[in-house]
A and B are shown apart, each in its own frame.
Chain A
Amino acid sequence: MLRETHVNALILLALLAVPLGALVLDQPFIITLATKVTILALAGVGLNLALGQGGLVSFGHAIFFGLGGYSMGILASHAQSFTPLMEVPFVIPGTNLMPVIWIVAIAVSCLAALVVGALSLRTSGVYFIMVTLAFGQMFYYFAISWPAYGGEDGLSIYVRNQFPGLNTLVPIQFFGLCFAVLCAVLFLVSRLNKSAFGLALTGAHYSPVRAMSVGIEVTRLRLVAFVISGGITGLAGALFADLNRFVSPTMFSWHTSGEIIIFIILGGVARLCGPIAGAAAYIILEQYLGGFSEYWQIYLGLILLFVVLFAQGGLIGSLSKREIVRG
């Protein structure tokens, strides 16, 4: 058995090695798959903060994934048609610069998480799951019925957005960018988990009554965690849209919320790199079982059942010793 930090390092190295190997072997499709894993893992890292650390089982994180995607889609579509986003009372132009798009995606997602969280955190348990799901469906149907940005058909962006100093259309460069973003977020989240905030969030998950009785305003604490969580998933949404150069209401659907939860369960709930392992396993299964049978999700379901019943630490939990003691 390895220490969890070593397992994490191995996972990140593998995620880096696979596309580099694919580059040598001239397999751009594999690089794209690795990029997809990286971005979906980022979405999972966001949800894991709420679901794993905070115990808030959000079935509505597709909201933030979708908002990130549409932030990119809307800004980039205005940039490609040279029309401003709005003219009254002041002009907001579109943009095809990733850093700007990311900031907008994070800000929009955080704002949405603030509203959704403030309303849904009044409930807990199954009700919280249902309220977040309901919000997710509201966003989904809104996106379908809003014709300005493609409605049901979605929105294509013909050229990938730009990042200063990189050619983002080269698969390995775009992968490198996404990988760097993932690593930066992982660093921040790992600091967060070890901080006073992380201890309080986990404490409020394990024993909300205790947290309150030592002076912690639990709802406010959870709301902040939910907002950070939504912001991270929103950033992943913007990258995902750029990977596909396409956004559609599917990003908002409850399938998407469910998939992000599956990454976490497969990889290991509340494990820092759990979502990476989970997203990688999911994409590999989709590729290989998908080639083997159209109904590959039946097998995915069986695997999930196995994990939930027999290996609750997920992939990371099975590969590493449990480390309880912090610091």
Chain B
Amino acid sequence: MGDPILSVRDVHKAFGALKASDGVSLELRAGEIHALIGPNGAGKSTLIQQIAGGLAPDSGTVEFVGRDISGTSTAQRARLGLARTFQISALAMQFTVLENVVLGLVGERGHVFRFFRPVMKDAAYLDPAHAILKRVGLHDVAHMRTAELSHGQRRQLEVAVALTLAPKAFLMDEPMAGLGADGSKALTQLLADLKTHAPILLVEHDMDAVFALADRISVLVYGKIIATGTVDAIRANPEVRAAYLGDGEIPA
């Protein structure tokens, strides 16, 4: 395992009496897929929002590529290369697939205040956009409206947009949600391929995918990480079995 790219250090966040993050620390290291699992209401989304921006922790820090990013905006974190995919697709549905990808490139390059050159005719954007679409397997539908894509294709497009950020880490919030077996399998393959590019912090309910993909797993329960370790260690951990996986059989 490589150096830590993303470090969450002793992060606290409370909403009234509810401690959504109660001293969370975790590290995402180069080359790994680190899965974050936990029952509903464990504070996974709150944690993701504090990492991606949008929610400021009450105390504690988030470090990314050696910088404390706790006080920066979502957009600044994105430009640093923290690429997020959303649980509920946040794509611009009225845009074409290609436009969504070019939008990502415009943001990443900080070209928002270019007023005159037609962006959708500019090879400086189109060439990398097409290359990214090819990589995720959406090249054939580049000119289709995003709203017309299947659920699985939207998931792929989420990944494509994340790729525009020249990411140094991915933050993926339930990328498998709502996918059928085939779609889930294809995306699992894509993620396994992506982790060589940048490490992935993966929040996921699909245990098959988690156990197949993850190098390490952290288990979040009531705002606390009760265990971090390899797939085998987590499976064998009695505390995890009791708190999260229940007494039942753990899927193989």
Q: Is A217 an interface residue (CB 8 A)?
A: yes
Of B95, B107, B118, which contacts A194 at CB under 8 A? Answer: B118
Specify which of B73, B83, B99, B143 is in contact with A199 (CB 8 Å cutoff): B99
For residue A194, which residue of chain B has the nearest CB?
B118
| Cβ A196 vs Cβ B94 within 8 A | no
List 20 A-B pairs, Cβ < 8 Å: A191-B115, A191-B116, A191-B118, A192-B115, A195-B118, A195-B119, A199-B119, A200-B106, A203-B92, A203-B103, A209-B90, A210-B91, A211-B107, A212-B74, A213-B90, A216-B107, A217-B112, A326-B96, A326-B118, A326-B120
A: number of interface residues (CB 8 Å): 29
A191-B115, A212-B78 as given contacts; A324 in contact with B103, CB under 8 Å:
no
* Bound-state Cα–Cα, A210 to B107, Å: 10
Residue among B73, B114, B143, B161 making CB contact with A210, cutoff 8 Å? B161
Chain B's nearest CB lies how many Å from the CB of A226?
14
Q: State the Cβ distance, B69 to closest chain A Cβ, in Å.
A: 13
Contact B120 A213 (CB under 8 A): no
1/0 contact trace for B112-141 toward A, CB 8 Å? Answer: 111111111100010000000000000000
Do residues A206 and B94 form an inter-chain contact, with CB atoms below 8 A?
A: yes
Given A211-B107, A217-B75, A327 contacting B95 (CB threshold 8 A): no
The residue from B78, B93, B145 contacting A214, defined by CB atoms under 8 A apart: B78
Q: Interface residues of B toward A: which range?
A: 35 or more
Smallest CB separation, B118 vs chain A (Å): 4
Complex contacts, A199 vs chain B, CB 8 Å: 99, 102-103, 106, 119-120
A:168-223 near B, CB below 8 Å = 191-192, 194-200, 202-203, 206-207, 209-218, 221
Question: Contacts A196-B114, A203-B103 hold; do A325 and B75 have CB atoms under 8 A apart?
Answer: no
Which residue from chain A places its CB closest to the CB of B114 in the assembled complex?
A: A196
Residues of A within 8 A of B73 (CB): 212, 217
**CB–CB A215/B121 < 8 A:** no
A224 contacts chain B at the CB level, 8 A cutoff: yes
User: DSSP class of A's interface residues: helix, strand, loop or mixed?
Assistant: helix
B177 to chain A, nearest CB (A): 16
What residues of A have a CB within 8 angstroms of the CB of B74 in the complex? Answer: 212-213
Distance (whole angstroms) from the CB of B107 to the closest CB of chain A: 4
A224 touches B108 (CB 8 A): no
B75 adjacent to A216 (CB under 8 Å)? yes
CB distance from A149 to the nearest CB of B (A): 35
Cα of A195 to Cα of B78 in the assembled complex, Å: 21
Residues of chain A lying within 8 A (CB to CB) of residue B121:
327
Query: Quick one: which of B96, B104, B112 has the most chain A CB within 10 A?
Result: B112
B117 CB, min distance to chain A CBs, angstroms: 6
B52 at the interface (CB under 8 A from A): yes
Is there an interface contact between A192 and B103, defined as CB atoms closer than 8 Å? no
New contact pairs (14) apart from A191-B118, A199-B102, A214-B165, CB-CB < 8 Å: A191-B116, A192-B115, A196-B119, A202-B92, A203-B92, A210-B100, A213-B78, A214-B106, A214-B107, A215-B78, A215-B107, A215-B110, A215-B165, A325-B143
Among candidates A209, A218, A224, A327, residue contacting B120 with C-beta atoms closer than 8 Å: A327
Q: How far is the CA of A105 from the CA of B213 in the complex (A)?
A: 61
